[in-house]
Every structure is written in structure tokens, then in C-alpha cells.
Amino acid sequence: MRTPTLFAALLLTAPGAALGASADKIFMDMETALGLSQTQVLEYAVISKLAGAKTETPLSETVKIDAGQRMRQEFTAPKDLKGTRILVLSSTQIYVYLPAFGKVRRIASATGTRDFMGTLFGPLEYGLSRLSDYDASAYDETARKLTLTAKSPGNYSKLEVIVDPAKYFVPTRIDYFTDAGLLKTETLEKYTCKEQVCSPALRTMTAKDGGWTTLERKSWKTGVKFSDDEFSKRTLEK
């Protein structure tokens, strides 16, 4: 892991790192470490193999995150997905532009957290800021496990997040639960930090049925200035 910035170093000595820290305190420190208020642009090389697939599928994409809330995702490869764009304005406002149809369509909110475009990452899961849709309910110091429950009925009833105060308060594993039980698990590795933002260079989502998808970060910019047009439905097809 890269040498921590002054901000990250301060986090290591924050009260939340002490024994007996509350779930709310750990959650707050994790959100701070993730830099939810920052704008970011990330380029990913993606490899996916869903359950039942005979071969792996390589993809590439660019993800823009605006102040931890709005997201715009664009596939740049393979050829049949190139130009496909997804816009996330909220957990219930998700739009997709498919070049083959030439139209912008709204998609069901349940799609935000399900297998999408041949990967195990739903549109909502590219931005870790969506953790703020949950409340902290418990923290197990021994297991370093933070339990989050949904603020309102949604796609996941519960998340279990491994967050280690000795590693800048960033999540290293997230288990996604529905009412039926564990659905899939994400591991987050090779973190680096820029000023007040930390980001994993490698993310792997593994489904209970054996499928998996990896996101390898190829480039990363923070503090980017976006225009409102970049996150508008009417310009999604441009």
C-alpha cells in the first residue's frame, strides 16, 4: 500500500481506532476515508465470467463519480458494448443508452445491484458512496466487521463490511445480503490514496453460484470539475 497521506495518517490515530469504537464512529471514519464528497474519474479493465459461461469476457469502461452521488459509466470495449452508457442519479433513477437502439431508457431500480452488462457489478456498486444508503447497526472488533442495514426497503437488506482501522478505515470485503441470505461477496485490494480520497486498484465480485468479475483500475483522477450536462439524461446519448 502506498505511503499514507497526512489525512490518512491522522485517521490512524483517530478515536475511532480505539477499542470499543461504536459502529457509527467506524462507519463515519470509513465514509471520510473513501472521500465521498470528491469527484473522480476511473478507468477499469474488466474480466468477467458468469456462472455457466465457458470463457472469460474482457471489457473496459470509464466511470465518473460526481460528489459521491451521481455516476456516469461508459463501456469502451468490446465492440458490441462500446458506447453503451449508464447514468445513475439516485438508487431509483438509473438510465441506460444502448447505441444499437439509439434511445435512452430508464431501467428498474433492482437492476442497480444485479448482474449487468455481463458483469456481477450492478450500476450502483461502482461508486462505494452508495454505502451511505445504509445505517450502521453493529461493529465486531474481533472480526473487524461492520454491519449495515438498509435505510429503506431496497435490493439488499444488509451489508457486512470488513473495515480495518489499521488500514485507513477502508473496506476490504463486502458481503451483500438479501432477505434470502448471502448473494455475493466483493473484495477490495491494493488501495492508494490521493489527498482525502482512497481507492482500491483491484475489486473482485464473486457470486454464490461461482461466477466472478474483476475490476482492475488503470487510471484514476480526483478533484475533476464536471459540468451538469455530463450527468443529464438528455446528453446521455451524446
pLDDT at 18 over 50: no
pTM for this one? 0.85
Q: What is the pLDDT of residues 193-218, one digit of tens each?
A: 887 788 899 999 999 888 999 999 99
Q: What's the pLDDT at 3?
A: 37
Q: What's the pLDDT at 151?
A: 86
Instruction: Please report the beta strands in the chain, taking only residues with DSSP state E, as ranges in sequence order.
Output: 40-49, 57-66, 70-77, 85-90, 93-98, 103-107, 134-140, 145-150, 158-163, 171-178, 181-194, 197-207, 212-222
pLDDT band, very low/low/confident/very high, at 35 (cuts 50, 70, 90)? confident
- The number of folded domains in the chain is 1
The residue range of the domain holding 100 is 6-235
Q: What's the pLDDT at 36?
A: 67
Q: At 143, which CATH number?
A: 2.50.20.10
DSSP string, 194-209: ETTEEEEEEEEEEETT
Name the nearest CA neighbour of 195 among 2, 4, 1. Answer: 4
Q: Which residues, other chains included, contact 5 with Cβ-Cβ below 8 Å and sequence gap of 6+?
A: 193, 194, 195, 196
Q: What is the pLDDT of residues 110-167, one digit of tens each?
A: 555 567 788 999 888 887 766 778 899 999 989 999 999 988 777 788 999 999 777 7
Domain assignment present for residue 225? The answer is yes
What is the rounded average pLDDT of the residues 2-14?
Answer: 40
Domain assignment present for residue 119? The answer is yes
Domain assignment present for residue 1? The answer is no
More confident: 13 or 176:
176
More confident: 17 or 46:
46
